Amino acid sequence: MRERLESLRTEALQEIQSATEMELIKELKVKYLGKKGELTAVLRGMGSLSAEERPVIGGLANEVRAALETAFAQKSESLETEELEAKLQSETIDVTLPGASLEPGSIHPLHSVIEQIEDIFIGMGFEIAEGPEVELDHYNFEMLNLPKDHPARDMQDSFYITPEILLRTHTSSVQGRTLLAKEGEVPVRIIMPGKVYRRDDDDATHSHQFTQIEGLVVDRGVSMGELKGVLLQLIQKMFGPDTEVRLRPSYFPFTEPSVEVDIYHPEKGWLEILGAGMVHPRVLEKAGYDSERYTGFAFGLGVERVAMLKYDIDDIRHLYNNDLRFLRQFKSV
Ligand code: FA5
């Protein structure tokens, strides 16, 4: 039995020494010192020993147990230290690496133009109104003197959702909504910015989704002269006092007379930025305004066209592609 204990000690100490993982140490503990372990099995056999041998073998067994426990404790400690060091090595943080820089964003040129135009009109006593992009045919066309069979509906190819609902083709759809809400009160001096949608083919100056700012003034004695004055103010504040402006006679079913306004660009020539005119008496009547007492003017400005002229952008699609190389150029705008 003495020999069994001695060889058990040698064998166990060797196995403990050569263990390279904590998992293995745990298994070895069970193997030698566990309830069904090898040392325990030897101790169980002590009953068959003689009275003289028992204390000697008992003493030796305790010695072996103590030696194994010490070996387990030492090995566990050194393995834990090794594991910790390996972990620290693999998780080393290099504090000299340059950090990921968080670039502050900037205002999109379209938004910047909308804000600049809003400021100019607020300075002239206008208020800002809004309307839905998914609109009733009634507000987009009918209230603007464009009944269902009107040929001028072809001027704006539309995205219909149902026969009565469409994506608004212009911000003029907000005119009727605002006038009805005002219930015949004057003065009305509002601008209405927002997105509009048309089945136009995309090219350098046209987009199927673009932005307009509608203007509407209704009061006693509003004249074409006032319309011209307001538009000149806007254009000179946006593009400088010497900007060349041209008003061309045009046609819109909801204004009479109607004009289109062009701005001169030294390289691109004349570029149309808006449509305008005196509000058609029928539009005023439909919204509950007496066209004998009140007159009004309205305009619809293409925001992309203004942005393109102001910042020398040669293709409208740059405003929608979200190319950072393009957008970064507007940091200071
Ligand atoms: C209209 O939309 C009228 N509602 C404007 C108006 C309002 C007239 C009030 C009278 C009274 P027009 O379709 O011309 O008109 O568009 C107005 C402006 O929007 C144009 O001058 C142009 O600057 C811009 N625009 C029109 N179509 C596009 C397009 N596909 N892409 C980019 N801009 C466009």
pLDDT tens-digit map of 37-54: 888 887 788 778 888 888
Q: What is the largest CA-CA distance in the chain?
A: 134
> 10 C-alpha to center of ligand 1: Å?
96
- CA-based end-to-end distance of the chain: 94
CATH topology of domain 109-330: BirA Bifunctional Protein; domain 2 (3.30.930)
In this structure, the residues whose C-beta lies within 6 A of any atom of ligand 1 are: 156, 170, 172, 198, 200, 206-207, 210, 212, 214, 252, 255, 258, 272-277, 298-300, 302, 304-305, 316
**Can you give the chain as a three-state secondary structure string?**
CHHHHHHHHHHHHHHHHHCCCHHHHHHHHHHHHCCCCHHHHHHHHHHHCCCCHHHHHHHHHHHHHHHHHHHHHHHHHHHHHHHHHHHHHHCCCCCCCCCCCCCCCCCCHHHHHHHHHHHHHHHCCCEECCCCCEEEHHHHCHHHCCCCCCHHHHHCCCCEEECCEEECCCCCHHHHHHHHHHCCCCCEEEEEEEEEECCCCCCCCCCCEEEEEEEEEEECCCCHHHHHHHHHHHHHHHHCCCCCEEEEEEEECCEEEEEEEEEEECCCEEEEEEEEEEECHHHHHHCCCCCCCCEEEEEEEEHHHHHHHHCCCCCHHHHCCCCHHHHHHHCCC
Nearest protein CA to atom 24 of ligand 1, as residue: 302
Distances (CA, A) of 152 to 91, 145, 157, 188, 263: 71, 10, 10, 27, 25
Q: What pLDDT shows up at residue 27?
A: 87
Token output for 200: 């136009």
From the CA of 171, give the closest atom in ligand 1: 4
What is the distance in A from the centroid of ligand 1 to the CA of 28?
85
- Looking at per-residue pLDDT, the higher value among 74 and 169 belongs to 169
What is the rounded CA–CA span in Å between residue 209 and residue 194? 10
The residue whose CA is least distant from atom 2 of ligand 1 is 170
Q: What percent of the chain has pLDDT over 70?
A: 99
Per-residue confidence (pLDDT) for residue 109, from 0 to 100:
95
Q: What is the pLDDT of residues 222-240, one digit of tens each?
A: 999 999 999 999 999 999 9
State the distance from the centre of ligand 1 to the C-alpha of 280, rounded, in angstroms.
Answer: 17
Mutate to test the pocket of ligand 1, among 203, 252, 301, 308 (most ligand atoms within 8 A of CB): 252
- Mean pLDDT of the 207-226 span: 98
Binding-site residue ranges for Mg(2+): 256
**How confident is the model over 312-328, as pLDDT tens digits?**
999 999 999 999 999 99
For residue 124, the CA-to-ligand 1 centroid distance in Å is 23
Task: Give tens-digit pLDDT for 142-200.
Answer: 999 999 989 878 777 899 999 999 999 999 999 999 999 999 999 999 999 999 999 98
Pick the most confident of 39-53, 66-80, 281-295. Answer: 281-295
Instruction: Give per-residue pLDDT as tens, 83-127.
Output: 888 888 888 888 888 888 887 888 999 999 999 999 999 999 999
Q: Which residue, 131, 129, 149, 127, is CA-closest to 140?
A: 131
Whether 303 and 238 have beta carbons less than 8 Å apart is answered as no
pLDDT value of residue 288? 97
Counting ligand 1 atoms within 8 A of each CB, the residue from 210, 224, 247 with the most, and so the one to mutate, is 210
Residues pairing with 277 in the sheet:
258, 298
**What's residue 267's pLDDT?**
85
Q: What is the pLDDT of residue 333?
A: 65
Does residue 64 contact residue 39 with C-beta atoms inside 8 Å? yes
* Cα of 318 from ligand 1 centre, angstroms: 19
Tell which residue, 4, 87, 94, 1, has the closest CA to residue 49.
1
Cα separation, 331 vs 108, whole angstroms: 9
Token reading at 48: 């068959």
Nearest residue (CA) to ligand 1, atom 27: 206
Ligand 1, residue 155: give the atom nearest the CA: 13
Q: Quote the pLDDT of residue 151.
A: 84
> Ligand 1 centre from 301 Cα, in Å?
6
Tell which one of 245, 297, 305, 310 to mutate to probe ligand 1, the residue whose CB is within 8 A of the most ligand atoms. Answer: 305
- Digit-coded pLDDT (tens) for 240-272: 999 999 999 999 999 999 999 999 988 888 989
Query: Which two three-digit tokens encode residue 90?
Result: 């693999």
How many other β-carbons are positioned within 10 Å of the β-carbon of residue 14?
11
Query: How far, in Å, CA of 311 to CA of 295, rounded?
Result: 36
Mean per-residue pLDDT over the chain, rounded: 92
pLDDT confidence of residue 236? 96
